[in-house]
Chain A
Amino acid sequence: MSPAPLLSVRDLRVGFATEGGLLQAVDGINFDVRPGEVLAIVGESGSGKSVTAQTIMGLTRSKNARIEGSVMLDGVELVEAPDAELRRLRGDRIGMVFQDPMTSFNPVYRLSKQIGEAMAAHRDDLSKQDMHARAVELFEAVGIPDAARRVDDYPHEFSGGMRQRAMIAMALALEPELLIADEPTTALDVTIQAQILELLGQLNRDRQLATILITHDLGVVAEVADRVLVMYAGRVVEEGSLDEIFYDPQHPYTWGLLGSLTRLDRPRPKRLPQISGTPPSLLDLPTGCSFRPRCPHEFAKCTELPALEERTAESPRHCDRCWLSSEQKREKRQVGGQIGLEAPA
């Protein structure tokens, strides 16, 4: 039996009033994250994945934002929670790692001070010595060599990968139950990316953290995730277990994402299968399926928006938003012996 969800998101909608009208960045999404589980949210820029993460933490609250739906963290409603309450939860029960390790630290303070500050904001019983010792402990836990000395360095004395480790150390300072990592490896070299992913996986297993990993790269997802949510233009277009998404993907957009990866484990194709076109403007979405203008398999029914539902009888909790029948999908997703969106022209 899987444990009860730590985080439950229901019908979450986030809109922003802009000069061009209401921009619906997130349009009704649902998901659960359980302790010890890594949920990956995958999508292109503008798909709403980061806004989702930021909304969970209450970071999108502003005068021109409209947030509806429910985000429950262990029985506490976050969408309606007062700012003070959210401030208490952030850092304490929810840790966050951002994309850019270069700009996430204050350059004029030592790392130990910044990590200590995060702790002091939530615990008033910790002495300076305690906090320093704890920072060293955290640096060791995330694999920073010579932690006792490096903890008093300034951010600029760290390389990108080391800074991201320090960032993770800070996120873990108060032993949160939920860790949100927004593109944690995008700014890093592949070799460093591999190390950071391994670290996240290990922390997830050892500490039974519930983790939300946000990324545009399905290669990263394959390394660490348990469940995957594929987002497109503010909606979830497919949801399933890691294996379901990689070996039995139902939505053409997922096929496109899988097809466009460069793969070292296969002979290189003459051309990379690509998804042509660009994501639609959220202010001017096509009627029906938002992926329709880029989809080579579009047909008459696609002008109606398909619901996100289980469409394959054999795998419950594997949902997608596409009108094609299971048989059609199985046939159409095969491009040159692999999964892809279309044969390159």
Chain B
Amino acid sequence: MTTENLLEVEDLVKHFPIKRGILIDREVDQVRAVDGISFSIPRGQTLGLVGESGSGKSTACRAVLQLIKPTSGSIRFEGQEIAGLSRRRMRPLRREMQMIFQDPYASLNPRKRIGQIVGDPLKRQGIASGSDLRKRVQELLVRVGLASEHYNRFPHEFSGGQRQRIGIARALALQPKLVIADEPVSALDVSIQAQIINLLDDLQDEFGLTYLFVAHDIGVVRHISDQIAVMHNGKIVEHGSADQVCERPQDDYTKKLLSAVPIPDPRESRVRRQGSTATS
């Protein structure tokens, strides 16, 4: 089979209990953050997961990575079931799946040098040390568009876009197969967003990476994804190829997301505005 799936998620559920009571915690209700979602990502492709805040997309990511324990469901990575694996058995797999975070200001330890931040995963997994480690980290920095002299600098010396490059270098250090990017560009200026998206594109081609790309902006998601899954209230309401979802959306919620993206064309948006005032 050529289009083998790297990741298969089936009926993934994550409910958080709502507890009341002082001495005895009674569970009075549940927040159904992720309420039975299924998707798969073929090796080397990108699945875009779109939805508003609170739709459950970040919880889904964290459950896939086993950062939180899913309530139920199956997560298969390269055919192996990983839901419910112990921390120890999960550890060698962590090398294969890495994450890029939203806020480049909060996701880098301000007291560590860039070399340490990017090199730490390599050290912890026992892959490289000493001068080999330094060389590898410097190569990575160059690959993501920074310079090898940045090795000894601190995060505060970098702009938001550069920090996101550092986060990408850290995620790639272990040569993972799957990269989960949770809103990687939404904290950045639009002009810098394009740089980071292009970088992610290049890295995917070069290293054959598989991406789960999470964002609230369907315009950005469409650009990078092969497939798009639209999440709403913990469920996937629409799933299809990127062009299909954006050009021929079936679900009302998808249509709402699409119509919210500003069109950078004043004549278009005037037409749109008149349309909306005429109907309201």
Contacts from A to B (Cβ < 8 Å)? 44-46, 159-160, 189-194, 197, 201, 216-223, 242-243, 246-247, 256-265, 268, 271-276, 278-279, 344
Contact = CB atoms under 8 A, between A and B. Distances in A.
B191 A256 contact: yes
A272 B197 contact: yes
A336 to B, nearest CB: 14
Contacts of A190: 216-219, 257, 260-262
Contact of B264 (A45, A243, A261): A261
B149 interface: no
Contact of B191 (A243, A260, A268, A344): A260
Given A190-B217, A262-B222, A274-B191, A222 B264 contact: yes
B190 A268 contact: no
A12 to B, nearest CB: 23
Interface in B145-174: 159-162
B112 interface: no
A264 B161 CA distance: 23
Chain B CB count within 10 A is highest, among A223, A258, A279, for: A223
Given A194-B262, A222-B264, A264-B258, A278 B162 contact: yes
A165 B258 CA distance: 22
Given A190-B260, A222-B266, A272-B194, A216 B223 contact: no
Contacts, number: 119
Given A189-B53, A191-B52, A256-B191, A265 B263 contact: yes
A23 B173 CA distance: 37
B32 to A, nearest CB: 18
A160 B268 contact: no
Contacts of B264: 218-219, 221-222, 246, 258, 261, 263
A222 B263 contact: yes
Interface residues of B, number: 41
B198 A197 contact: no
20 contacts: A189-B52, A189-B53, A190-B218, A190-B261, A191-B52, A191-B260, A194-B260, A197-B262, A216-B189, A218-B190, A219-B263, A222-B263, A222-B268, A243-B266, A247-B266, A258-B264, A262-B193, A262-B223, A263-B263, A264-B219
B237 interface: no
B10 interface: no
Contact of B198 (A216, A218, A263, A274): A274
Contacts of B132: none
B129 interface: no
B215 to A, nearest CB: 9
Contacts of B192: 44
A45 B189 contact: yes
Contacts of B260: 190-191, 193-194
A201 B273 CA distance: 10
B191 A272 contact: no
B263 A191 contact: no
B222 to A, nearest CB: 6
A246 B266 contact: yes
B194 A260 contact: yes
A263 B269 contact: no
Contacts of A263: 219, 263-264
